[in-house]
Amino acid sequence: MSQKSNSSEVSSSVNKTIISAPSQPTWPLYLIFIMTLLIGLIASYYLTMQQALVSGMLFFCIAFWATSLIPAYWPALGLFAFATATQLTPNEIIFSGFESSTFWLLFSGMIFGAAIVHTGLNSRATYFLTQILGNSYQGTIIKLALFAMGLAFLIPSAIGRIVLIIPIIASLADHFGYDEDSNGRKGMLLAASFGTFLPAFSILPANAPNMLLAGMAEALYAAPFSYWEYLILHFPVMGLGKLVITIIAILWLFPDKDPSATTQVDQPQLNARPSALSKIEKRLLLVLCGCFALWFTDSLHHISAGWVGLTAALICLWPKLGLTSKTCIDKNIQYSTLFFAAGIIGLSTIIGYSGLGEVLVNYLTTIISFSPDSAVMNLSLLTFISTCVAVVMNLAGVPAIITPMAEHLSEVTGLSNNAVLMSQVMAFSNVLLPYQAPPLITAIAIGNLSIRAVTKVCLVTFTLSTLILIPLNFLWWDLLGMF
DSSP 209-255: HHHHHHHHHHHHHS-PPPHHHHHHHHIIIIIHHHHHHHHHHHHHHS-
Phi then psi for 245, rounded to 5 degrees?
Answer: -70, -30
Task: Give pLDDT tens digits for 92-126.
Answer: 889 988 887 768 877 887 888 788 878 887 777 77
312 has a pLDDT exceeding 50: yes
pTM confidence score? 0.72
Q: How is the chain split into domains, by residue range?
A: 28-97, 98-483
12 has a pLDDT exceeding 70: no
Identify the burial level of 70 via C-beta atoms within 10 angstroms of its C-beta, where 0-12 means exposed, 13-18 middle and 19 or more buried: middle
Residues 158 and 196 sit within 8 Å (Cβ to Cβ):
yes
Distance separating alpha carbons of residues 177 and 169, to the nearest angstrom: 12
Q: How many helices (H) and strands (E) does the chain have?
A: 28, 0
Identify the burial level of 74 via C-beta atoms within 10 angstroms of its C-beta, where 0-12 means exposed, 13-18 middle and 19 or more buried: middle
Residue 225, pLDDT score:
80
Q: What number is the average pLDDT over the span 458-483?
A: 92
| Rg over CA atoms, the chain | 23
What's the maximum distance between 2 C-alpha atoms anywhere in the chain? 79
Residues 474 and 211 sit within 8 Å (Cβ to Cβ):
no
Task: Give pLDDT tens digits for 351-369.
Answer: 878 888 778 777 877 788 8
